[in-house]
A and B are shown apart, each in its own frame.
Chain A
Amino acid sequence: MTAKISIQHVQKSFRIKRNLGHLAENTQPISALQDINLDVKQGEFMVIVGPSGCGKSTLLDLLAGLTKPNSGQILLDNKPLAGPNLDRGIVFQQYALFPWKTTLQNVEFGLEAKGVGKKERREIAQQHIELVGLAGFENRFPHELSGGMKQRVAIARSLAYDPEVLLMDEPFAALDAQTRETLQSELLRIWEATKKTIIFITHGIEEAVYLGQRVAVMTSRPGRIKKVITIPFEARTSEEDLRAKPEFVQLRHEIWDLLKDEVSRAQEQEKTKTLKSFSNGKSTLKGVAGDG
């Protein structure tokens, strides 16, 4: 088994400076990811699921090459990552389309960065717009499109420059339930057509089971991989409703069991953080009052 992407002992922490004064705890590094190990195979659909604030997006930034791990390494085709590159495409939750560019121009953007000639660029962009089912919307601006359409444009844009790996950061989280389900099955169809390796980050358990060949469950902060679960379904795009199968329900339940404690712990962390910053805020206010 050769890994397309290999995450090895990756650790990442932040030093967050808050403008709350000189309290020591504020300048202490916050550990976001701790000893992450994960291998993703060529052409695999890997889903990473975890509670909010567990460092999923940090992991994706690392995979994109936008930030570097404090220790450990990430290998793509056995070579360590060196910064952002067009061999990886990213789809963000908030689409990140350029509002001054039309659908066609947005899809062409990455191709332009790659140095593809004008005519070829147009052809490839057109193909990918058709792939995501947006033929006829080439000359629309993003603000003229619905959320689901914008995300289709973003997917087309990332696929157009033919990356080896597609990284998706909660791409459907901002969409309504019906659009989300449509786009999920569309994504599976596109995945089967393009045979891309996909790393898909989500907090939705059902989404994870429906899309992933394997699902990696993360813990609350500091994020670690708790368990990797193999989803044994074949031919997901078939007619029958996968979500109604007893195996589906069972897998969903299994993942929920793994996540349950992490979610409550994450919420507890959130609460104490908010309380702390509130009491800090109060103390600084007092300080100001004392000065005056």
Chain B
Amino acid sequence: MANSSTGETVVLRDNKSLEALEWSLAKLRRAFKFSIVILSLLVFWEIAPRVGLVNVTFFPPLTEVLQAWWQLFISGDLAEHMTASLLRSGGGFLLAIVISIPLGLAIGWWKPVAEYLNPLLELMRNTAVLALLPVFILLLGLGETSKIAIVLYACSFPLLLNTVSGVKNVDPLLIKSARSMGLTSVRLFYKVILPASLPTIFVGIRQAGASSILVLVAAEMVGAQSGLGYFIQYAQFNFQIPGMYAGIITISFIGVVVNYLLVALEKRLTSWKQTYNE
């Protein structure tokens, strides 16, 4: 009897450790899937210049770029340009949120207004923002104002259009149901329209976040004395190629972080939504 019972416990323990092993294996597989392509690309970046597949001068190996990045980081140059860029795109982005979301809510709520304004919004959205950059510089000069203004402009359209369509596409049955409970228009707006359109508004916020960085970098390349866009352009002109790549890496890193933060915020605020990708 005693023997058999100890045998059972051994088997149980085995099962447990087996499960733990399987679990960590699954985790490992996921991490592998997640990173393998990027890792191979980075390895290729390192090897290709070294074996002479591409010109080392124009395409230095990854380790050299990372060294340059570290130097820039230590000297404080990178931080300076990064702060300049983040203040501009963050400022424009936040201003756009403060202006465009309330405006979009109002436009979506008063349907006739939306019908009149929609063609104009579509036209402006489909005009490449950077084509307007010279106009902004002419009107607002080379200083901070023109940079923030163009980011504000670029962020406004995804925010506006998504907010308008979010409000317009609220399930009419929910509105009917709330109205049947005698809600006033103001309460209906706060209690039903706003929460129901939040997921669509967030699509706009994410698009705006992405374009705030995109547009800013281009703007800084054209006319600026600081910022990551300026730095990349400057490094290229002065033939500091590893430094240029360091700037590019920094920008893509910022883009990924911003997107991640916005997705996390979105998940928090719209946790009630069904997730289909599981």
- Interface residues of A, Cβ cutoff 8 Å to B: 64-66, 83-86, 88, 90, 92, 94, 96, 98-101, 109-110, 113, 141, 143, 161
Q: Is A92 a contact partner of B179 (Cβ separation < 8 A)?
A: no
Q: Is A96 a contact partner of B177 (Cβ separation < 8 A)?
A: yes
The size class of the interface chain B forms with chain A is 20 to 34
Q: Is A113 a contact partner of B181 (Cβ separation < 8 A)?
A: yes
Q: Is B195's beta carbon under 8 Å from chain A? A: yes
Given contacts A84-B181, A85-B182, contact A94 B173 (CB under 8 A): yes
Q: Is A100 a contact partner of B183 (Cβ separation < 8 A)?
A: no
Report Cα–Cα, A96/B173, bound state, in Å: 6
Report Cα–Cα, A92/B176, bound state, in Å: 10
The 5 A-B residue pairs whose C-beta atoms are closest, nearest first, are A96-B177, A143-B274, A100-B272, A96-B173, A100-B195
Report Cα–Cα, A85/B274, bound state, in Å: 32
Q: Is A98 a contact partner of B182 (Cβ separation < 8 A)?
A: no
CB distance from A200 to the nearest CB of B (A): 16
Q: Is B177 a contact partner of A92 (Cβ separation < 8 A)?
A: yes
- Residues of chain B within 8 A (CB-CB) of A92 are 173, 176-177
Q: Is A101 a contact partner of B180 (Cβ separation < 8 A)?
A: no
Q: Is A113 a contact partner of B272 (Cβ separation < 8 A)?
A: no
Interchain Cβ contacts within 8 Å, total number: 52
Q: Is A100 a contact partner of B270 (Cβ separation < 8 A)?
A: yes
- Residues of chain B within 8 A (CB-CB) of A141 are 272
**What are 6 A-B interface contacts by the 8 Å CB criterion?**
A96-B176, A99-B196, A99-B272, A100-B198, A100-B272, A113-B183
B171, B187, B196, B273: which contacts A113 (Cβ < 8 A)? B187
Q: Is A98 a contact partner of B174 (Cβ separation < 8 A)?
A: yes
Report Cα–Cα, A90/B196, bound state, in Å: 20
Q: Is B195 a contact partner of A90 (Cβ separation < 8 A)?
A: no
Q: Is B142's beta carbon under 8 Å from chain A? A: no
Q: Is A100 a contact partner of B196 (Cβ separation < 8 A)?
A: yes
Q: Is A66 a contact partner of B179 (Cβ separation < 8 A)?
A: yes
- Residues of chain A within 8 A (CB-CB) of B183 are 113
SS class of chain B's interface: helix, strand, loop or mixed? helix
Q: Is B248's beta carbon under 8 Å from chain A? A: no
Report Cα–Cα, A141/B273, bound state, in Å: 9
Q: Is A110 a contact partner of B192 (Cβ separation < 8 A)?
A: no
A84, A94, A110: which contacts B179 (Cβ < 8 A)? A84
A84, A98, A100, A143: which contacts B180 (Cβ < 8 A)? A84
- Residues of chain A within 8 A (CB-CB) of B270 are 100
- Residues of chain A within 8 A (CB-CB) of B179 are 66, 84
Report Cα–Cα, A56/B22, bound state, in Å: 59
Report Cα–Cα, A161/B198, bound state, in Å: 27
Of B179, B198, B270, chain A has the most CB atoms within 10 Å of the CB of B179
Report Cα–Cα, A88/B180, bound state, in Å: 8
CB distance from A152 to the nearest CB of B (A): 16
Q: Is A84 a contact partner of B173 (Cβ separation < 8 A)?
A: no
Report Cα–Cα, A101/B181, bound state, in Å: 16
Report Cα–Cα, A109/B187, bound state, in Å: 12
CB distance from B92 to the nearest CB of A (A): 30
Chain B residue at minimum C-beta to C-beta distance from A86: B182
Given A66-B180, A100-B196, A100-B198, 14 other A-B residues pairs in contact with their CB atoms under 8 A: A64-B180, A66-B176, A66-B179, A92-B173, A92-B177, A96-B177, A98-B192, A98-B195, A98-B196, A99-B196, A100-B195, A100-B272, A109-B181, A141-B272
- Residues of chain A within 8 A (CB-CB) of B198 are 100
Report Cα–Cα, A70/B191, bound state, in Å: 31
CB distance from A165 to the nearest CB of B (A): 12
Q: Is B272 a contact partner of A101 (Cβ separation < 8 A)?
A: yes
Report Cα–Cα, A2/B146, bound state, in Å: 74
CB distance from A168 to the nearest CB of B (A): 12
CB distance from B265 to the nearest CB of A (A): 16
CB distance from B115 to the nearest CB of A (A): 14
Report Cα–Cα, A99/B196, bound state, in Å: 8
Given contacts A99-B272, A99-B273, contact A84 B182 (CB under 8 A): yes
- Residues of chain B within 8 A (CB-CB) of A109 are 178, 181, 191
- Residues of chain B within 8 A (CB-CB) of A96 are 171, 173-174, 176-177
Chain B residue at minimum C-beta to C-beta distance from A64: B180
Report Cα–Cα, A110/B171, bound state, in Å: 18
